[in-house]
Amino acid sequence: MKDSCLLNQVLLTFTDSFIEHREDLSAVMLTPEKHLWFGSDETSTIERLSWIDANNFGEHKQFHVKEFIDLPAPEDEEIDIEGIEYSDRYLWFVGSHSWKRKKPKPDKSDAKNINRLTQVKSEPNRYILGRIPLVDGELWKTCPHPDNANVQLVAAKLEVTQQGNVLIEALANDPHLGCFIKAEIPGKDNGFDIEGIAVYQNRIILGLRGPVLRGWAMMLEIEVELSETGLLTLKPIAEAGSLYKKHFLFLNGLGIRDLHLDGEDLLILAGPTMDLDGPVQVYRLSGGIHLQEDVLYYPEYLQDIPYGNRNDHAEGITPYQDIAGMPSLLVVYDSPAKNRLVGETGAIADIFKLGQ
């Protein structure tokens, strides 16, 4: 296996309002203005940090998603943002679309914890796939396209339904995914769980942490359009008129934890589907924006990302070559080790040289 090459570490400094959630970072995207945009799997907000110098990002600003699009549930119910992408003046983000199971807590008895493991629920905000105009480093509900005054940029989300949204409805009878959705299997139990998004022109690629089928991870490809009601709807994308395409990838039995474009390739962060430590690996899928259906893909393994003992779980990656000056990735961690936490508001991210 190729060794990881740590180029640098950078300090991410948040404000007091985000102290608790610096340990829940689940998505990251570097945009051309040298801003880092973050999602947390415990909030319904999007965070922005600005480049300060080679070792620091700060000037934290928080954006409440409810100020740009209507949420199906109150803001205190998390969106569980698991992917962030930037494309053509829009910041795209996606919730996990997953069911959740309560976890045992150390302050409760064994009997109560065993009962907690029976409790499964779905939360409407987790089924958000949305976009918000991003111009001059700010998010807007609506604004003119800076390169085309005749085009109005508008915040919007995929149409929600009783089952979650129109994508979940379309997948309900899918021969690979339908049984997981209908059985209401939680994401961390190898259930349906979106944890990555890449956007190229009018196409959206969604990476699935689960299910992993006999060692094969999956991606979904969709196209959306803005309806007269201001909602995003699915367009037929496959030759047979289907509303989605499926792509199967062999990632050594791992699920997808994040996705990003690198030219016309896809960079894939792969990690365990279940709630356990490592391995965590980075792959490149050449020509990943031009995939055919009914093909089994074997992405190129690039390198490992270190992981800890019940901590340091790599959750988000973003290409970093525009700042580092060489092919590289910035990596953020969920459940960071204590030595990654700096003061009351800081967390350390890693910069790795990207294997070729």
Dmax (CA) of the chain: 62
| Positions of the chain with pLDDT lower than 70, given as ranges | 1-4, 240, 356
Pairing, β 341-342 against β 346-353: antiparallel
Q: Which two tokens stand for residue 148?
A: 């085309």
**Which pLDDT does position 2 carry in this prediction?**
45
175: CB partners within 8 A, 6+ apart: none
Return d(Cα 234, Cα 227) in angstroms, integer. 10
* Nearest to 28, CA basis, from 9, 47, 44: 47
CB atoms within 10 A of CB 163: 16
Helix, strand, coil % over all residues of the chain, rounded to 5: 10, 50, 40
**pLDDT tens string 87-117:** 999 999 999 999 999 999 999 999 999 999 9
Return d(Cα 278, Cα 266) in angstroms, integer. 21
pTM assigned to the model: 0.96
CB neighbour burial string for 303-314, b if at least 16 within 10 angstroms, e if fewer = bbbbbbeebbbb
For residue 137, how many C-alpha atoms fall within 13 Å in the half-sphere facing its CB? 12
In a 3-state reduction of DSSP, which class is residue 319?
A: strand
Pairing, β 313-319 against β 296-297: unpaired
**Which pLDDT does position 3 carry in this prediction?**
45
**pLDDT tens string 324-347:** 999 999 999 999 999 999 999 999
**Which pLDDT does position 1 carry in this prediction?**
37
